[in-house]
Structure formats: C-alpha cells, structure tokens
C-alpha cells in the first residue's frame, strides 16, 4: 500500500478511536485527517482508511460519497463554498455567483486553470444574517457585495 | 412580551466565551449546585418541566419530559447527545451560542447528563462550522482544566466527558435518529421509531438528544427558577428563545424574545422592518420547512401553539422575510432543489417525490409549465408527507403545499402563457413528470 500516515497522524487515529466504544464511529474524523494529509480521498486512501478501521473499502466509499465534505476528487488550492439557499438568494447570491464566474472564469464545480480556486455552490451555511455569504476553506465571509467580493478574491493568496 | 437577555446577555459581555469571564458572570453556578447538592434526576426533570422549556431545535417537545423517558432501571452507559448540526435554511442561532457562549452550552449539557446519569456527552457539530468547533474545543479544554468536566467534576464522584464529533455535510443528520446513525459511523439514515432513542439510541444505549439552544437555557432555568422562566413566556411555552431573522429585512440578526411576542414586533420593531421600506409579501416563520405565511397572516404570536393554530410552525425560530419584489415561484424552486439534494434516499416517496417536485418546478419557473403541473405538484407533495421514516418528507412537502395554495395566482400566471395539456382526463402524478 503506497499511502500511509506519518507517525503523528497514526497516533491521532488511535486518539480518535478512543472517543468511541465502537471503532467504526471514528470514520468521520479519520477521513478528515486523511483528507488533510493526502488532499482528497482517492480509492487508494479509502483502502488505507478501511485497513485502519477494519472495514471493507466499499463501506468507506459509501461514507465518502454520502457526505458532501469529503473530497473524492482533487480541488484547487482554495475551496470556495458559495451559499445559494433562500436567504442568500434573496440578498444577491446570484450576483455573487455571476461575479465569481466573470472574474475567475469558472462555474460551480469547476477549478481555475492556475488551480487556485475551486467553486462549489452549497446549501445553507448557517450564516443567513450575513447573507450573502461564502466560505473560502475554513473561513466564513458575509455581508458581501460585488465590490467586497472582488476585493476578497484579490486578497486571497 | 418583549426582548429579554438570558442567553444574549453573554453575547454582550466581551470574551464571555472564556471560562474566567463566564464564571465571573455567574457561569457554572447552576451546574455546581446540581452536582454538589447531588440533585436526584426527578428534581432536575421537574424543575425543567415546571419551566415549560420546549425543545428549540424545531419540534418543540417539552425538554424535561424527554429526559424522563430514559428507563430508570437501564443498566450500562447512557448518552447525552447535543445536536449542533444546525442546517435548517434560515437558522443560525446555535452558531452564535457556540461562538460566544460555549460554556453556557457545556453547563446545560452537564446538568442534562446528570438528569439521565450519563457519563459521556457527544456534541455533533455540523462540518461547515469550523469556528464554532474551535470555540467549543477551547471551552471543553478550559472546563476540563477547571475540573468541571472529566473525573470527579466539581469535587464530586461524578465523571462526565465531552466528545466533539464533526459532521461532514448532510442536512439529514439534524434529524435525531440520522444524527445517531452518523455518529456511529454510518450514513446519516434515519431510523423508525420506536424504539425511541431514550430507550435504544446511540450504540443501542439509552440516549437523549437535545438542541444547543435548549440546553443553553437549562442553567438559566436553574439559576433563575422555573417559575421566573415559565412566566416570561405564555402557557405551555415557557421562557424565551433566540429568533434568527434574515432575508429582506433591515437589521438581520439574532433576537432573544419571550415566547408569545407578536411576530409584527420582531419584524418591524426589533429587525427594523422591510429593507428599502418595501411592502412585506411573505414570511417563512421557522426554517424553510415551515409553511409560508402571507403578509396578512403575520398578526400571530411567536410561540409553538399559536403558529400551529394557523397551520404553520415555529420550528427553529429562523425567520425569512420576503418583500413585494420576491418571485415566489423562484423561491419555491430553490426550496425544492434543497430538499431533493438533501433527501437521504432511503424512503421512496421522499427520494423520488422531491425529484419530481423539483422537475415540475423547473418547468413552471422556466415558463414551460401547465396548470396541470400545479395540480400534479400538489398531488406529489400530498403523497410524500406522512409516508416517510423521518420528517424530511414532511419538510419537503409543506413548503410546496403552502406556497402553491397561498400564492396560487402567481403560479397560475407563470403557467397561463403555457399550453394547457391536450390530453383529456387527469394524469396520475407519476406520468410524464
């Protein structure tokens, strides 16, 4: 098997497992750890996670595909999650999408040629008081306007 | 009936997310009292019951009563699970609690765990909530260091450990049995009840699942007394809750109001009224699954029973305001797409029905629909509700039924230009959808 965690992550897997009376329950956090380590959850990574938790690889695959936050495919350096649920839509999410499309030349699900941004449109991010909002990686940005979004995109390195 | 500052008090105190500040403002007094005075479970239930504290995740089930369902003679571990998978569109109150008053939640969770003799608390936080998760992580560490969590809490013989569990992006996991499946390492598929989680829940052990906000009111109920809390609200709807208001409103945000406050007061006094001083058109009262209200229906009080009386729900308290410029067809299409995307796929009526409704709505919104489509939409929605394992089916059908019924003219206008189907007789809902 060609993918493997460094020792520190291996220890972390043991710590995660300790939180639960059943090993299987650790799968969520172990997948996050794997995603951080390997960039995305490839079939190879699924096999590796399966071996760590004594599960069939098909089981791991089912979990990876059920939840939206596990990345089955590589994404750009920054993953942008643009909310387009009701409150954000009422407050201009469509204009934000149009701005991103125009400025970066990518639509939902696409990655820029320089591999800097991947854009996803997503369901409610739980920040409706800041509509329209988006996340870039693990950071939330709200009360966007076309101008603010323009500056924000410029400021991301 | 008005604005109160019970939970929001901590939002206004600088650094109240930190243990020393939280404690200096009366924090952990309630949990300390319950633990060091060894309150028996019955005393905790009856206090919370007397306060009429309702479940604030959406269903409104009386909190104290829920706890009392755990069988007293059950052997082995019992669990308290905190539902922090806040995903109902329009809802964001729990995010504020976890960011600004994480210790209030932990304190409430400690008390609830004492009431069912649980030694392990799992907090299931939605995956997108990075900052709230960090805030909780820090709070847990502080509370452990202070001896409020871990072994021999508050110097007693009680042990309580808090485990944080991150979700990974699935609306369905806000439903309690789906949440438990997810927490156990499965797909977030809901389960049939009974058995109820209180009897057979997480890892097949007795489990109570409470929303973040519900638990955050528990220390306040103990501190101030159940009578004080109950009196703030109205009959059977004790105390207050956090209302989140968003959409076409001047001051979107979180407002803590006593239950029974008029909806008009929240929209026009606290939230400043409709953006641009436009006319109000519609209100979704408590998250996108609640039946929509027209502007003529907003003279209602914000409590579970009053909203139920007019055929809607108080739900999660996440209110979405729509002004006169809003295209209701477009909003309903958006809602339909959401439920179709989030349906877990387990029950046929929901899995297929949400897709049908979305496809019909796409046709209607694009001006290609027929009046038959509206009838079909109504039929399909009627066949989902009540026919699924979990309430997502109802959540998907209620907006459709209410939007089409209350804004029928707007939907008719979209289809009137389109051709009426040539076929005679009524199509069954499954055909050509």
Range of the domain at B227: 19-232
Kindly state whether residue B57 falls inside one of the protein's structural domains: yes
- Identify which of B89, B182, B330 has the shortest CB distance to residue A124: B89
Which of B323, B338, B368 terminates a domain? The answer is B323
Rg of the Cα atoms in chain A: 18
Q: Cα torsion at B192, B195, B196, B200 (round to 10°)?
A: -120
Does the pTM of the predicted model rise above 0.90? yes
Boundary of a domain, candidates B277, B305, B323: B323
Q: Which residue has the tokens 């739980």?
A: A126
Report the CATH number at residue B263.
Answer: 3.10.20.600
pLDDT at B424: 46
Nearest residue to B214 via CA among B100, B74, B66: B66
On whether both B245 and B98 belong to a single domain, the answer is no
- 3-state SS, chain B, equals CCECCCCHHHHHCCCCCCHHHHHHCCCCHHHHHHHHCCCCHHHHHHHHHHCCCECCCCCCCEHHHHHCCCCCCCCCCCEEEEEECCCCCCCCHHHHHHHHCHHHHHHHHHHHHHHHCCCEEEEEECCCCHHHHHHHHHHHHHHHHCCCCECCHHHCCCCEEEEEEECCCCHHHHCHHHHHHHHCCCCCCCCCCCCCCCCCCHHHCCEEEEEHHHHHHHHHHHHHCHHHHHHHCECCECCEEEEEEEECECCCEEEEEECCEEHHHHHHHHCCCEHHHCCEEEEECCCCCCCCEEHHHCCCEECHHHHHHCCCCCCCCEEEEEECCCCHHHHHHHHHHHHHHHCCCCCHHHHHHHHHHHHHHHHHHCCCCCHHHHHHHHHHHHHHCCCCCCCHHHHHHHHHHHHHHHCHHHHHHHHHCCCCCCCCCCCCCCCCC
Note whether B178 contacts A: Cβ–Cβ < 8 A. Answer: no
Q: Is the pLDDT score of A135 beyond 50?
A: yes
pLDDT at residue A86 greater than cutoff 80: yes
Binary contact (A86, B89; C-beta < 8 A): yes
Burial of B14 (0-12, 13-18, 19+ CB in 10 A): exposed
- Are residue B225 and residue B248 in the same domain, yes or no? no
B191 and B56 within one domain: yes
B282 shares a domain with B177: no
CATH, residue B396: 1.20.1440.230
- Read off the tokens for B186: 């499965």
**Whether B51 and B131 share a structural domain:** yes
Residue B212: closest CA among B32, B92, B62: B92
Residue that terminates a domain, selected from B302, B323, B344: B323
**Secondary-structure breakdown of chain A: helix, strand, coil percentages, each rounded to the nearest 5:** 50, 10, 40
Contact assessment for residue B242 and residue B262, using Cβ atoms and an 8 Å cutoff: no
Work out the minimum CA distance from B253 to partner chain A, whole angstroms: 5
Residues of A in contact with B330 (CB under 8 A): 89
Are B398 and B306 in a shared domain?
A: no
Number of structural domains, chain B? Answer: 3
Task: Give the nearest chain B residue to A29 (CA atoms).
Answer: B166
- pLDDT tens across the length of chain B (433 residues): 589 999 999 999 999 999 999 999 999 999 999 999 999 999 999 999 999 999 999 888 999 889 999 998 888 999 999 999 999 999 999 999 999 999 999 999 999 999 999 999 999 999 999 999 999 999 999 999 999 999 999 999 999 999 999 999 999 999 999 999 999 999 999 999 999 999 999 999 999 999 999 999 999 999 999 999 999 988 888 899 999 999 999 999 999 999 999 999 999 999 999 999 999 999 999 999 999 999 999 999 999 999 999 999 999 999 999 999 999 999 999 999 999 999 999 999 999 999 999 999 999 999 999 999 999 999 999 999 999 999 999 999 999 999 999 999 999 999 986 655 555 444 544 444 4
- Find chain A residues with C-beta within 8 A of B339's C-beta: none
Would you call B127 and A62 a contact, using CB atoms and an 8 Å cutoff? Answer: no
What would the pLDDT profile of B264-310 be if each residue is shown by its tens digit? 999 999 999 999 999 999 999 999 999 999 999 999 999 999 999 99
B84/B185 same-domain check: yes
The answer to whether residue B427 is domain-embedded is no
How many Cβ pairs closer than 8 A exist between chain A and B?
Answer: 138
In a domain, B396, yes or no: yes
Q: What is the pLDDT of residue B419?
A: 57
Q: Which residues of A touch B90 (CB under 8 A)?
A: 86-87, 124, 128
CB contact under 8 A, A131 and B246: yes
Chain A CB contacts of B255 under 8 Å are none
Strands B280-284 and B318-323: antiparallel
In a domain, B190, yes or no: yes
Domains, chain A: 7-66 (1.10.10), 78-155 (3.40.30.10)
The answer to whether position B312 is within a domain reads yes
Q: Flag if A67 and B338 touch (Cβ within 8 Å).
A: no
> In this structure, what CATH number is given to the domain that contains residue B36?
3.40.50.11540
Query: What is the ipTM, given to two decimal places?
Result: 0.97
Please tell me if residue B107 touches chain A, with a CB cutoff of 8 Å.
no
> B39 and B183: one domain?
yes
Is position B2 within any domain? no
Q: Are A128 and B252 an interchain contact pair (Cβ–Cβ within 8 Å)?
A: yes
Is residue B365 assigned to a domain?
yes
Q: Is B90 a domain residue? A: yes
Same domain, B120 and B244: no
Q: What is the pLDDT of residue B70?
A: 93
**Which residues of A are less than 8 Å from B242 in CB distance?**
none
Tell me the C-alpha distance between B27 and B139, whole Å.
Answer: 13
| Residue in chain B nearest A143 by alpha carbon | B252
Quick one: closest CA in B to A92, which residue?
Answer: B247
CA distance A113 to chain B (A): 26
B299 and B351, same structural domain? no
pLDDT tens by residue, B26-45: 999 999 999 999 999 999 99
Q: Both B248 and B319 in a single domain?
A: yes
Q: How far apart are CA B164 and CA B125, in angstroms?
A: 7
- Whether B164 and B147 map to the same domain: the answer is yes
Would you say A87 and B91 are in contact if contact means Cβ atoms under 8 Å apart? no
pLDDT in tens, B135-183: 999 999 999 999 999 999 999 999 999 999 999 999 999 999 999 999 9
């Amino acid at each position: 098997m060609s993918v493997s965690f460094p020792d520190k992550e291996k220890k972390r897997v043991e710590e995660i497992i300790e939180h639960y009376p059943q090993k299987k329950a650790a799968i969520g956090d172990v997948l996050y750890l794997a995603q951080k380590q390997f960039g995305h959850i490839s079939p190879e990574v699924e096999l590796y996670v399966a071996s760590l938790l004594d599960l069939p690889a098909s089981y791991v695959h089912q979990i990876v595909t059920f939840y939206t936050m596990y990345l089955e495919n590589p994404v750009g350096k920054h993953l942008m999650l643009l909310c387009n649920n009701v409150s954000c839509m009422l407050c201009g999410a469509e204009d934000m999408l149009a701005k991103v499309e125009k400025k970066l030349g990518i639509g939902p699900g696409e990655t820029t040629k320089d591999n800097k941004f991947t854009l996803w449109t997503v369901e409610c991010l739980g920040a409706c008081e800041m509509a329209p909002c988006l996340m870039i990686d693990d950071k939330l940005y709200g009360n966007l306007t076309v101008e603010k979004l323009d500056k924000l995109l410029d400021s991301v390195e | 009936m008005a604005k109160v500052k019970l939970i929001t008090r901590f939002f206004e105190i600088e650094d109240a997310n930190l243990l020393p500040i939280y404690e200096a403002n009366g924090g952990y007094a309630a949990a300390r009292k319950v633990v060091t005075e060894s309150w028996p479970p019955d005393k905790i239930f009856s206090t919370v019951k007397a306060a009429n504290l309702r479940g604030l995740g959406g269903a409104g089930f009386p909190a104290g009563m829920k706890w009392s369902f755990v069988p007293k003679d059950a052997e082995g571990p019992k669990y308290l699970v905190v539902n922090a998978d806040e995903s109902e569109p329009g809802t964001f109150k729990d995010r504020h609690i976890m960011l600004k008053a994480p210790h209030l939640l932990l304190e409430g969770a400690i008390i609830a765990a004492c009431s069912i003799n649980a030694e392990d608390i799992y907090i299931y936080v939605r995956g997108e909530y990075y900052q709230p998760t960090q805030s909780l992580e820090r709070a847990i560490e502080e509370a452990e260091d202070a001896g409020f969590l871990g072994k021999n809490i508050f110097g007693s013989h009680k042990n309580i450990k808090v485990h944080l569990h991150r979700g990974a992006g699935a609306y369905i996991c806000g439903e309690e049995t789906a949440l438990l499946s997810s927490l156990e390492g499965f797909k977030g598929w809901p389960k049939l009840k009974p058995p109820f989680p209180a009897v057979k829940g997480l890892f097949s052990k007795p489990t109570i699942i409470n929303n973040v906000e519900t638990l955050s009111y528990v220390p306040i109920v103990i501190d101030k007394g159940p009578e004080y809390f109950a009196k703030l609200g109205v009959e059977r709807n004790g105390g207050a809750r956090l209302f989140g208001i968003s959409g076409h409103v001047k001051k979107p945000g979180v407002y803590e109001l006593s239950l029974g406050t008029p909806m008009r007061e929240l929209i026009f006094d606290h939230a400043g009224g409709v953006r641009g001083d436009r006319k109000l058109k519609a209100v979704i009262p408590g998250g996108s699954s609640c039946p929509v209200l027209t502007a003529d229906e907003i003279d209602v009080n914000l409590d579970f029973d009053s909203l139920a009386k007019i055929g809607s729900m108080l739900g999660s308290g996440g209110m979405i305001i729509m002004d006169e410029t809003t295209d209701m067809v477009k909003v309903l299409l958006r809602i339909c797409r959401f439920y179709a995307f989030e349906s877990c796929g387990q029950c046929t009526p929901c899995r297929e029905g949400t897709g049908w409704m979305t496809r019909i709505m796409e046709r209607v919104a694009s001006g290609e629909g027929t009046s038959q489509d509206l009838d079909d939409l109504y039929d399909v929605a009627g066949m989902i509700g009540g026919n699924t394992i979990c309430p997502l089916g109802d959540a998907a059908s209620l907006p459709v039924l209410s939007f089409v019924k209350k804004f029928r003219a707007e939907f008719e206008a979209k289809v009137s230009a389109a051709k009426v189907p040539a076929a005679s007789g009524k199509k069954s809902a499954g055909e050509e959808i």
